[in-house]
C-alpha cells in the first residue's frame, strides 16, 4: 500500500512516496537514484535505535554499500559544530560529488543533512526518509534546509531539494505520542489554510491518525504533502503565498522563544496554541465567525493538544506559565520574527476555516491583547 505525489519544481522536481512498510523496500526504491551503489546514512540516536536495522537490511538486500553517521537526538544537532563535524566525516569517507546521502530521521536530521548536502563540494544529492509525523508532512517538503545559531533558529541555511522522499508510516509506531501529536498540529494547519473539507475529515479521523491507523495516516500525509507542494511550486523561495504556511507560527515562535526552544514546548504544540490565537485575533478584528474559532479549539482539545498558555491542567502549559511570560515580552518576540519584511510582521489571519490570508495591518495592541488573553 503506497502512493506517490510529485513536487513540481522544473529541474528540481522530485517524488514523495508514502506508504506502510516502505522502509523495508528502501534499497530497491533508492537504487535507481544512485550513480553508484554507495551512500552514507545520517541519523540520530533514537531513530537509529528503533528503525536503523530495517534500513540497513533494505540497503544490504539491494547490494548498496553504506556508512552510517549517528548524531545526538534533538535540536542541538542543528548547529555549526555538528555541521562542521558532519562535513568532515563525509570528506573522510571520500564521498564524491556525484554521490547521494540519506537523511534518516525527523526534521532536525532533514534540515542539517539537507544543508550539509547543499554545501558539500558545492552541492550533492540527498534523499529524505522522514520518521516523525512533522517531518513527513512538513519539513521534508519544500527544500528548506538549515541550522540554528545562538541568535536564533534556522537563521543559516539554503534551499536544496531532495532527490526523493520516502515516508513510511510504520516508522511512526516508535515515535513518542507527544511528538506524534505535535506533528498533527501541522496536518490540521493545511486544512485550516485552504481546505475546509480536509479539516472536516480530520474532525472525524484525527483520533485514528493518533491511534496509529495506517490508512488514515497515509491519507493525512499525502493530503498535507500535496497542499504544501502546491504552495511551494507557486512560490519556491518564499516571496509570497508560501507565507500562508506560517499560520499560527508567528505567535507560536514567540512562545517557543520564551521557552528557549526546549522540550517544555514542542514546535507543534506552540503551533497549536498559535493557531488558536490566530483565530482569536481574526474574531477580535471582526474578520472570522466565533464559531469557527471555537471549532478549531474543540478539535485540538479533544486530541489533547494544548490550546492556551495558561491551562493549569496541562503539564506543558504549566511549564510555560512558570517561565514568567508577559504579553509585552511575547509581543517583542513577534517584532523580531524572521518572517519580517521592511520592518513589518506579516500575520496569517482567517475569515473562516479553510480561508487564511496574509495581513500586515494588525495593530500591536490587538496582538498584545491576544497574548494577554492567552496568559490570563
Ligand atoms: N525545513 C522545513 O521546511 C521545516 C519545516 C518545519 C520544521 N522544520 C524543522 O524540523 C525540526 C523539528 O522536526 P521534528 O519535530 O521531526 O523533530 P526531531 O527531528 O527532533 O524529532 C523529534 C524527536 O523524535 C525522535 N524520533 C524521530 N523519529 C523517531 C521514530 N520514528 N521513533 C522514535 N523516535 C523518533 C527524535 O530523535 C527526536 O528526539 C525543527 O528543527 C524545525 O526547525 C523544518
Ligand atoms: Zn511548523
- In tens, the pLDDT along 1-38 reads 789 999 888 788 999 999 999 999 999 999 999 999 99
Q: List Cβ neighbours of 340 (8 Å cut-off, separation of 6 or more).
A: 346
Q: Hey, what's the cell of 84?
A: 562542521
Which residues have CB under 8 Å from 346's CB, separation 6+? 243, 246, 250, 339, 340, 358, 359, 360
Cα gap 282→155, rounded to integer Å:
29
| 244 CA to centre of ligand 2 in angstroms | 11
Establish whether 246 is a catalytic residue: yes
DSSP-based three-state secondary structure for 245: helix
- Residue 56 CA to residue 350 CA, distance in Å, equals 46
Average pLDDT, the chain: 92
Please report the atom of ligand 1 found closest to the CA of residue 268.
Answer: 15
The 10s digit of each residue's pLDDT in 296-346 is 999 999 999 999 876 534 566 666 666 667 888 888 888 776 555 666 788
Instruction: Write down the catalytic residue from 46, 148, 160, 186.
Output: 186
- pLDDT of the residue at 172: 98
H-helix segments, the chain: 26-30, 45-61, 80-92, 107-119, 133-134, 177-194, 196-211, 214-234, 249-258, 267-284, 290-302, 315-322, 327-335, 364-375
- How many Å is the maximal CA-CA distance in the chain? 62
Express each pLDDT in 184-204 by its tens digit.
Answer: 999 999 999 999 999 999 999
Task: Check residue 222 and report its DSSP letter.
Answer: H
Sign of the alpha-carbon torsion through 338, 340, 342, 343: negative
Q: Report how far ligand 2's centroid is from the alpha carbon of 261 (Å).
A: 13
Residue located via cell numbers 534518516: 104
Residue 6 dihedral angles phi and psi, to the nearest 5°: -110, 130
pLDDT of residue 335: 79
Residues with CB under 6 A from ligand 1: 44, 46-47, 50-51, 73-75, 78, 105-109, 111, 131-132, 134-135, 138-139, 142, 144, 153-154, 171, 174-175, 179, 267
Confidence of residue 73 (pLDDT cuts 50, 70, 90): very high
* Strand (E) or helix (H) holding 4: strand 2-7
Pairing of strands 340-341, 144-149: unpaired
| Residue 347 confidence (pLDDT) | 92
Place of cell 515515535: 175
Cβ-Cβ contacts under 8 Å for 88 (sequence gap 6 or more): none
pLDDT of residue 220: 98
DSSP string for 286-316: T-S-HHHHHHHHHHHHHTT----TT-TTSHH
CA dihedral 78, 84, 86, 87 (to 10 degrees): 130
**What is the average pLDDT across 234-252?**
85
pLDDT number for residue 318: 64
Rounded Cα distance between 297 and 279, Å, is: 9
pLDDT at 371: 86
pLDDT of residue 313: 46
Contact 110, 103 (CB under 8 A): yes
Dist CA 187 CA 183 (whole Å): 7
Region 42-60: mean pLDDT is 98
Q: What is the pLDDT of residue 311?
A: 54
What pLDDT score does 127 carry? 98
Atom 14 in ligand 1: residue holding the nearest Cα: 107
Task: Using alpha carbons only, give the angle 158, 137, 54 rounded to the nearest 5 degrees.
Answer: 95
Q: What is the number of other CB atoms lying within 10 angstroms of the CB of residue 219?
A: 18
**164 grid coordinates:** 526523493
In this structure, the strands spanning 144-149 and 152-159 are: antiparallel
In whole angstroms, what is the distance from residue 15 CA to residue 163 CA? 8
Specify the pLDDT at position 52.
98
In this predicted model, which residue has the larger pLDDT, 243 or 101? Answer: 101
Active-site hit among 160, 219, 253, 314:
253
Ligand 1 mean position to 365 CA, how many Å? Answer: 34
User: Which atom of ligand 1 is the closest one to the Cα of 74?
Assistant: 20
pLDDT of residue 316: 60
User: How confident is residue 242, by pLDDT bands cut at 50, 70 and 90?
Assistant: confident
State the catalytic residue, choosing from 267, 297, 308, 314: 267
Q: What is the CA radius of gyration of the chain?
A: 20
**Beta carbons of 144 and 278 less than 8 angstroms apart:** no
What is the average per-residue pLDDT within 54-79? 97
Distance from the alpha carbon of residue 182 to the mean position of ligand 1, in angstroms: 10
Q: Rounding to the nearest 10 degrees, give the CA dihedral for residues 199, 202, 204, 209.
A: 180
Measured at the alpha carbon of residue 360, what is the angle toward residues 325 and 370, in degrees to the nearest 5?
A: 30
Which pLDDT score, from 0 to 100, does residue 321 have? Answer: 62
Amino acid at each position: 500500500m503506497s502512493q506517490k505525489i510529485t513536487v513540481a519544481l522544473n529541474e528540481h522536481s522530485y517524488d514523495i512516496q508514502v506508504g506502510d512498510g516502505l522502509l523495508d523496500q528502501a534499497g530497491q526504491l533508492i537504487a535507481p537514484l544512485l550513480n553508484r551503489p554507495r551512500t552514507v546514512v545520517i541519523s540520530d540516536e533514537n531513530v537509529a535505535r528503533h528503525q536503523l536495522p530495517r534500513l540497513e537490511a533494505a540497503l544490504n538486500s539491494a547490494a548498496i554499500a553504506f556508512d552510517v553517521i549517528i548524531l545526538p537526538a534533538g535540536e542541538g544537532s542543528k548547529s555549526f559544530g555538528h555541521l562542521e563535524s558532519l562535513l568532515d566525516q563525509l570528506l573522510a569517507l571520500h564521498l564524491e560529488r556525484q554521490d547521494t546521502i540519506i537523511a534518516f530521521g525527523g526534521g532536525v536530521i532533514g534540515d542539517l543533512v539537507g544543508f550539509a548536502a547543499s554545501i558539500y563540494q558545492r552541492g550533492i544529492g540527498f534523499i529524505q526518509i522522514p520518521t516523525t509525523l512533522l517531518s513527513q508532512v512538513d519539513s521534508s517538503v519544500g527544500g528548506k534546509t538549515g541550522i540554528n545559531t545562538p541568535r536564533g533558529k534556522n537563521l543559516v541555511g539554503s534551499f536544496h531539494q531532495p532527490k526523493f522522499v520516502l515516508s513510511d508510516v510504520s516508522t511512526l509506531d516508535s515515535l513518542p505520542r507527544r511528538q506524534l501529536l505535535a506533528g498533527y498540529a501541522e496536518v490540521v494547519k493545511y486544512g485550516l489554510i485552504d481546505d475546509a473539507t480536509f479539516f472536516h475529515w480530520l474532525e472525524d479521523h484525527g483520533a485514528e491518525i493518533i491511534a496509529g491507523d495506517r490508512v488514515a495516516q497515509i491519507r493525512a500525509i499525502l493530503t498535507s504533502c500535496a497542499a504544501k507542494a502546491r504552495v511551494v511550486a507557486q512560490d519556491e523561495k518564499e516571496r509570497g503565498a508560501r507565507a500562508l504556511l506560517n499560520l499560527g507560527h508567528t505567535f507560536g515562535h514567540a512562545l517557543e522563544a520564551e521557552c528557549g526552544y526546549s522540550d517544555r514546548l514542542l514546535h507543534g504544540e506552540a503551533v497549536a496554541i498559535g493557531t488558536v490565537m490566530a483565530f482569536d485575533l481574526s474574531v477580535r478584528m471582526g474578520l472570522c465567525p466565533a464559531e469557527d474559532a471555537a471549532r478549531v479549539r474543540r478539535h485540538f482539545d479533544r486530541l489533547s493538544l494544548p490550546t492556551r498558555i495558561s491551562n493549569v491542567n496541562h503539564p506543558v502549559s504549566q511549564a510555560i506559565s512558570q517561565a514568567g511570560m508577559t504579553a509585552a515580552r511575547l509581543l517583542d518576540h513577534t517584532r523580531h520574527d524572521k518572517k519580517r519584511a521592511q520592518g513589518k510582521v506579516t500575520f496569517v489571519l482567517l475569515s473562516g476555516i479553510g480561508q487564511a490570508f496574509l495581513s500586515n495591518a494588525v495593530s500591536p495592541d490587538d496582538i498584545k491583547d491576544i497574548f494577554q488573553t492567552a496568559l490570563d
